[in-house]
Structures are given as C-alpha cells and as structure tokens.
C-alpha cells in the first residue's frame, strides 16, 4: 500500500495545515527558525486549496489535527502536555484532543456492544448514558450493571478506527522511507523503525482485551503504592472492541480549579505523579505510557486514579540498572561517569572521545542547576540535545521509544500542576531506593543465586552445549564482534541515555 497515493495524503496534510492557518501558528509557537517558517509557507501555499476545511469553530492547530484523523490526534495529545515546547495557549487548545472530541452516536455504540459481548445493552445495563468523553480511538459511556447495580464505565472503539489508523500509518511509512532515501544522514534516527514501533503500539491499543489484561497486571504491581489506584476491569462485559471497568469518581487531573475546590494541593499532585511514574518505570519495569491529564483523576480521598491502559511500556531489568546508574551520575553531577556508562553500553560509537562527550553533557547540565523550572525553554533544550546526539553519532533506540514519550508527557502534566516542580528532589529518593535494592550487595547475591539456578538446570548439558558452539564456530568465518547487551536494549529514541539527562534537566522525565 505504500505507493504514490501516499504522496497525495502527505500533500493534503501540509495543505490542511496551511488552509486552516495551523502551519503559521504551530511554527511560531515552537519558535521555529525564520527560514523554516518561510520555506514551509512557500511550499504549502500553492496547495492550500487541497486541504481539508475542518471545523471552523476550533482553533487552527486543533482544527487541522482533528480533520486529519486519529494518528495525528495522538501526536496532538502529546503536545498538549508540553506548554514549554508549544506555548501555554496552544497547549490549552490542544487539550480538547484528550477526551473532548466529537462523539459517535449511542445507537452505534449499542450495536457494537451487542456484536461484541452478545448481550443487548438494555439487558447488561440498567442505565447507559450519552458519551461523556470521546478521544481519538474510543469513547466512554457511564452505565450501571443490571445484575449488581455497580456503576461502571463502558469504553467502545470508534467505528472504522482501525482502517483510519492503517491509512495514516501507511502514509507515515511512505514519508519515513522518503526521508531515509533523500536524507541519508537521517538514518541514524531510524525513521522507518520509529514508525513501525508506533504502529505496533497502536495495534495493541485497538484490542481492548489486551487493555483489560494490562489493567489487571498494572493494578497488581501498584497495589501497595500510597496515593495511587487503578480501576478494576469487568471481564464478563469486555471484548475486543468493548471494555467495562469500575467507574472512577473524582476531579480531572487537568482541571486545577476543580482540584483546588475539592481541597487537593496541585503542587503535591504534580510531584506525586512524577514520583509514581519513576517508581513504576524503575521498580516494576512496567508503566502507564499514556499518562496525560485526560487519563487521570483525583479521587475524593486524594488518590491519583489512572485509567486507559491501551498503551503500556516495559523495560527489562538489565536496562533499568543502567538507567538508574546514569540518573545517579547526573544527580551527583559526575559527567565523566555518565559518559563512561554511555560508552560501556555502546550508545556512543567507540571512535568518539569520552572526554568530549562528558564535556558536552556538562555544557547542557550545569546551566540547568541554577535555573528555576519555569525559566527553562524545553524547545531550545531539546534542540541542543538533538545537536549533541548528532555530533556524537548516537543512533535512535527504538526499543524504548515509549519511555521517552511518557517522560515528555508526565513531565508536562507535572508542570501544568506545579510550574516550579523540582525534578532533582523528586528523582533522587526514587533512584537511590532502586540502587540500594538492585545495585548493592543484596542485588549481587540475588544475581548469583539466579546464575546458580540456571547452571543447575543446564549443568548436565553444558559439555554438549559447549561442543556444539565450538563446532559451529569452526564451520563459519568469524563474525564481527556483536554489540554489547546494553547496546541491544538501549534506552530511548533520542540517542541512548541522553533522555536520562532530560529527566533531571527539568525536562524529559
């Protein structure tokens, strides 16, 4: 499908941004260079009449994104959490993309529920509301179980959403291939792999059975987290395109006036959401990867309640240990050690200088220590981090793109609640606890016990295994040395552990 018809799709995308006025607004909000703004206008203007008109009642960027479809809306949701990148005004405009999109009809929702669970809505539920929230992939109805009387939320996928996503992803793949062909220098960023990763994430989000299973696992992992809760899925009333969960009562995390009116402290909530995310990523290696304001509420008792588990992230144990060591290096401002870890992990090519890389990290990190969070321009910081990754030839790590994406979103949520949130103070105890449990003597003893168990299982077969490996080695020419395991697992898309820098530079975590 990745043929010439995608040229039309991409032209229409640019034309839609130009026709709605979104191109000018977006580039100005992101402080794009004047030359880039001029080039975009010159290229886009002749085709503006081909663009989709969109809803003229919406602001320009929101209007363009909603007109283009669900994949674009997903990107807009991320940007809605980054007022420091796109500006406060534009971020507020984009926030409607989280849960306030036009809904589809109740009749369509009821038809899908009947087809999926085999029971009419009138039989399964004694009450069933109009849509109360609608996002890019699904909408939610408030209902009450007919058998137990329990209040629940019923999530139903949008009709035709799978086809719409496939169409957009097809165009994104086409664009990624064009970029790699005409701009060879971009290949280190692996645009085609990034799009493929995004596609795999979306496919998981379009099967609500997977989301229900994720909710159960996440709830088990976080059961002891103080001030945090996860609603329970009702598996007997859930299927591929329909999911029923316990109703969440509380104030939306993005509604600061409502939080204050309910007696909650927005500053404390901002710090807590960051601390919880770091704990889930480091301690469990399994985290909610779509933690924008539209997916969290604050219960009357003060608990942060997360829902919508369509996108979850996972980090293996080995990577978490490296990640923690990098974070601690930044906390201690030991840039030399941070640089060494990057080289040991294989994130930076070995032909580059450790000293030069440590100096580059210091040039970004040191100025941040003396700044308040609200003084930092994340747009400029991200631009400089990108320059550093390019200078040192650091390739994109697609394995953990979700970690980077969630870092950006969660930090944006925290900033919306507390603009002066201190990233260093929040990260330090979480990282120290993890290091104490996983990099100290207890961890060494635990690793040795695991190794012993492995040898116990395979000990009797070791001579046979070694002999087979030696025979294969003799039969084949010697291959080039493989990258280290750390290089295979990588950290994030912007070039390995540099995202860890963003975490503590009042930025990406």
User: Using one digit for the tens of pLDDT, what is the confidence trace for 368-420?
Assistant: 666 665 565 555 565 566 667 767 877 666 556 677 778 777 888 888 898 87
Find the catalytic residue in 99, 168, 170, 290. Answer: 290
Question: Which of 48-52, 140-144, 168-172 tops mean pLDDT?
Answer: 140-144
Rounded distance, CA 426 to CA 437, Å? 18
Number of H helices, E strands in the chain: 25, 10
- Of 32, 71, 67, 62, the residue nearest 51 (C-alpha): 67
| Pairing status of strand 242-246 against strand 151-157 | antiparallel
Is residue 290 annotated as a catalytic residue, yes or no? yes
Rounded distance, CA 376 to CA 423, Å? 12
* pLDDT tens profile 37-91: 676 766 667 777 778 888 888 888 888 888 887 778 877 776 776 665 667 678 7
If asked whether residues 228 and 277 sit together in one domain, one would say yes
Q: At what angle do helices 401-417 and 70-79 cross, to 10 degrees?
A: 50
> Which tokens hold the place of 479?
């291959």
Q: Of 313, 336, 357, at which residue does a domain stop?
A: 313
- Domain with 353, as residue range(s), is 318-399+428-436+489-504
If asked whether residues 286 and 394 sit together in one domain, one would say no
> Which tokens hold the place of 250?
């509380």
* pLDDT tens profile 91-113: 777 777 766 778 899 999 999 99
What pLDDT score was predicted for residue 447?
63
pLDDT (average), residues 331-346: 83
Check: CB of residue 123 under 8 Å from CB of residue 146. Answer: yes
What pLDDT score was predicted for residue 505?
34
Rounded distance, CA 449 to CA 465, Å? 22
User: Is 271 part of any domain?
Assistant: yes
Higher pLDDT among residues 445 and 159, named by residue: 159
DSSP letter for 130, please.
E
If asked whether residues 51 and 150 sit together in one domain, one would say no
Q: What is the CB-side half-sphere exposure of residue 315 using CA atoms within 13 A?
A: 31
- Of 407, 426, 402, 501, the residue nearest 270 (C-alpha): 426
User: Is 389 part of any domain?
Assistant: yes
Rounded distance, CA 90 to CA 509, Å? 21
If asked whether residues 89 and 148 sit together in one domain, one would say no
Higher pLDDT among residues 471 and 445, named by residue: 471
If asked whether residues 345 and 223 sit together in one domain, one would say no
> Which tokens hold the place of 312?
């979850």
Rounded distance, CA 341 to CA 325, Å? 8
Q: What is the CATH number of the domain that holds 271?
A: 1.10.510.10
């Amino acid at each position: 499908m990745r043929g010439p018809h995608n040229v039309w799709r991409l032209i229409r995308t640019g034309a839609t941004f130009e026709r709605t006025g979104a191109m000018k607004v977006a580039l100005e909000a992101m402080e794009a260079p004047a030359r880039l703004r001029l080039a975009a206008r010159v290229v886009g203007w002749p085709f503006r009449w081909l663009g989709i008109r969109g809803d003229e009642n919406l602001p320009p960027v929101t209007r363009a994104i909603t007109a283009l479809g669900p994949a674009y809306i997903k990107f807009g949701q991320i940007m809605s959490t980054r007022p420091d990148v796109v500006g406060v005004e534009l971020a507020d405009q984009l926030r409607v993309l989280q849960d306030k999109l036009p809904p589809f009809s109740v009749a369509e929702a009821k038809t899908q529920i009947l087809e999926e669970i085999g029971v009419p809505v009138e039989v399964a539920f004694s009450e069933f509301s109009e849509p109360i929230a609608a996002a890019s992939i699904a909408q939610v109805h408030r209902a009450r179980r007919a058998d137990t009387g329990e209040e629940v939320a019923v999530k139903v996928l949008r009709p035709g959403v799978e086809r719409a996503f496939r169409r957009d992803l097809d165009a994104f793949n086409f664009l990624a291939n064009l970029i790699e062909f005409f701009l060879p220098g971009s290949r280190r960023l692996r645009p085609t792999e990034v799009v493929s990763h995004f596609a795999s994430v979306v496919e998981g989000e379009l099967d609500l059975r997977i989301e229900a299973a994720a909710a159960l696992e996440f709830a088990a992992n976080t059961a002891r987290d103080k001030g945090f809760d996860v609603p329970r899925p009702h598996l007997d009333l859930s299927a591929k395109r329909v999911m029923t969960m316990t109703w969440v009562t509380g104030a939306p995390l993005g509604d600061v006036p409502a939080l204050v009116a309910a007696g909650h402290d927005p500053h404390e909530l901002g710090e807590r959401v960051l601390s919880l995310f770091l704990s889930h990523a480091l301690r469990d290696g399994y985290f909610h990867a779509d933690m924008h304001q539209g997916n969290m509420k604050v219960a009357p008792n003060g608990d942060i309640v997360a829902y919508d588990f369509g996108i979850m992230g996972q980090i293996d144990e080995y990577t978490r240990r490296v990640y923690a060591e990098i974070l601690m290096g930044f906390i201690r401002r030991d840039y030399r050690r941070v640089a060494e870890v990057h080289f040991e992990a294989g994130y930076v090519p070995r032909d580059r200088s450790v000293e030069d890389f440590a100096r580059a990290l210091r040039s970004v990190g040191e100025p941040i220590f003396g700044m308040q969070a609200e003084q930092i321009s994340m747009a400029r910081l991200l631009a400089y981090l990108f320059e550093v990754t390019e200078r040192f030839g650091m390739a994109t790590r697609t394995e953990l793109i979700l970690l980077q994406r969630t870092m950006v979103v969660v930090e944006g949520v925290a900033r919306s609640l507390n603009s002066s949130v201190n990233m260093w103070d929040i990260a330090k105890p979480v990282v120290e606890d993890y290091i104490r449990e996983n990099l100290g003597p207890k961890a060494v003893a635990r690793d040795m016990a695991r190794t012993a168990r492995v040898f116990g299982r395979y000990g009797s077969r070791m001579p046979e295994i070694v002999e087979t490996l030696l025979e294969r080695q003799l039969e084949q020419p010697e291959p080039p040395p493989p990258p280290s395991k750390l290089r295979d697992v990588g950290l994030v898309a912007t070039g390995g552990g540099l995202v860890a820098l963003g975490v503590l530079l009042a930025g990406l975590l």
